[in-house]
């Protein structure tokens, strides 16, 4: 039995995308122990993942913090990993490779760089859809992939019967109208207008709800929808996963919850401006689709409304 390391620091949407690759790695190393190196926000999440044996915290302190770097590298070296699957593929994880296994090939360290096709530059390869990149990386490492192209995030769900009872949630449409302030280009501004269109057609057939994150609770009153909290606090990732999975329809900006919805097999729609493409982030699934426009401010609520499918 060997120790295998996966590196996945975040973000939440990226973790939802990577869970199929993690499952395939587990399947390929069924007799080994799978560790994952991640950051604090996702420590508890990965502890629940059935395909992970143990979670290692990376505080991601400055590379010039030599004491921290030494202690982390010593811990990783002590575990004598037979193989590393770098699913983060960042400059930081490349830095780790250069410390841990400076001369290693794909046989020791699997990354988008060590598995890069000979006929393409990394800048071009990185333009391909993220799931296709994971699939290529694992196949080039010698794995057979069954789940990489169809991630299933349902392992992250928990029981929310108490919350459903408190808010009388039976049939509901879940909206994610917020995004990080520094990513305002992702924010579609017409959710209230859309809510009016939904209510005019469906009346009381569906509750319209939002589930704001901790930093979004103060803005919840700006949206004309019922705000779902747990004891006045934001739902945790496990509760949010279940709320998404059990919804009738999800409408979201391009944020972490949108990617969760896509890989929870929820029915829904996500709205993309010019910041990236739905194709590149592999978000479209059988039940989850995207509207792509150059300017989200020019995307009318009527256009979004006509794409809602509740049948």
Residue 166 is part of a domain; what is its CATH number?
3.40.50.2000
Boundary (domain end) residue, out of 154, 185, 204: 154
Q: Is residue 310 part of a domain?
A: no
Q: What is the mean pLDDT of residues 199-205?
A: 94
Helices (H) and strands (E) in the chain, counts: 11, 11
CA 172 to chain centroid, in Å, comes to 22
Q: Which domain holds residue 14?
A: 3-154
Boundary (domain end) residue, out of 154, 178, 195: 154
Confidence of residue 303 (pLDDT cuts 50, 70, 90): very high
**Is 8 in the same domain as 145?**
yes
Q: Is residue 220 part of a domain?
A: yes
Lowest mean pLDDT, pick from 70-74, 81-85, 99-103 = 99-103
Contact predicate 242/157, CB 8 Å? yes
Per cent of the chain over pLDDT 70 is 100
Task: Indicate whether 182 pLDDT > 80.
Answer: no
Task: Indicate whether 218 pLDDT > 90.
Answer: yes
**Is 126 in the same domain as 223?**
no
**Is 120 in the same domain as 252?**
no
Please state the domain count of the chain. Answer: 2
Contact predicate 248/171, CB 8 Å? yes
Q: Is residue 281 part of a domain?
A: yes
Say what the pLDDT of residue 181 is: 75
**Is 102 in the same domain as 8?**
yes
**Is 109 in the same domain as 234?**
no
Contact predicate 13/256, CB 8 Å? yes
**Is 271 in the same domain as 175?**
yes
**Is 14 in the same domain as 150?**
yes
Give pLDDT tens digits for 110-156: 999 999 998 899 889 988 999 999 999 999 999 999 999 999 999 99
**Cross-strand bridge partners of residue 227:** 210
Say what the pLDDT of residue 105 is: 85
**Is 284 in the same domain as 216?**
yes
**Is 9 in the same domain as 149?**
yes
Q: What is the mean pLDDT of residues 155-167?
A: 98
Q: Which helix (H) or strand (E) holds 102?
A: none
Separation CA 306–CA 302 (nearest Å) = 6
Q: Is residue 35 part of a domain?
A: yes
Q: Is residue 280 part of a domain?
A: yes
DSSP reduced 3-state for 230? strand
Q: Is residue 234 part of a domain?
A: yes
**Is 172 in the same domain as 287?**
yes
Say what the pLDDT of residue 42 is: 97
Task: Indicate whether 210 pLDDT > 80.
Answer: yes
Nearest-5° angle of CA 148, CA 111, CA 274?
70
Give pLDDT tens digits for 98-110: 999 988 889 999 9
**Is 145 in the same domain as 24?**
yes
Task: Indicate whether 15 pLDDT > 80.
Answer: yes
**Is 144 in the same domain as 272?**
no
């Amino acid at each position: 039995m060997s120790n295998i390391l996966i590196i996945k620091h975040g973000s939440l949407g990226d973790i939802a995308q990577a869970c199929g690759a993690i499952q395939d790695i587990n399947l390929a190393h069924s007799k080994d122990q799978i560790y994952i190196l991640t950051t604090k926000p996702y420590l508890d999440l990965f502890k629940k993942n059935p395909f992970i044996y143990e979670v290692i915290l990376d505080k991601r302190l400055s590379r010039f913090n030599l004491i921290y770097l030494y202690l982390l590298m010593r811990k990783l070296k002590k575990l004598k990993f037979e193989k590393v699957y770098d699913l983060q593929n960042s400059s930081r994880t490349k830095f780790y490779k250069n410390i841990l296994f400076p001369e290693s090939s794909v046989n020791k360290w699997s990354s988008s760089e060590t598995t890069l096709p000979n006929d393409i530059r990394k800048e071009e390869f990185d333009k391909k859809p993220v799931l296709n990149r994971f699939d290529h990386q694992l196949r080039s490492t010698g794995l057979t992939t069954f789940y990489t192209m169809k991630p299933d995030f349902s392992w992250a769900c928990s029981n929310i019967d108490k919350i459903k009872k408190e808010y009388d949630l039976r049939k509901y449409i879940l909206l994610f109208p917020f995004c990080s302030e520094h990513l305002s280009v992702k924010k579609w501004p017409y959710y209230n207008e859309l809510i009016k269109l939904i209510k005019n057609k469906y009346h009381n057939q569906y509750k319209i709800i939002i589930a704001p994150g901790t930093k979004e609770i103060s803005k919840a009153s700006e949206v004309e929808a019922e705000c779902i909290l747990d004891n006045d606090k934001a739902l945790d990732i496990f509760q949010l996963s279940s709320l998404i999975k059990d919804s009738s329809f999800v409408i979201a900006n391009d944020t972490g919850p949108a990617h969760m919805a896509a890989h929870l097999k929820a029915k829904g729609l996500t709205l993309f401006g010019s910041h990236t493409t739905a194709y590149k982030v592999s978000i479209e699934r059988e039940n989850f689709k995207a509207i792509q426009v150059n300017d989200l401010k020019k995307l009318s609520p009527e256009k979004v409304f006509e794409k809602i499918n509740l049948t």
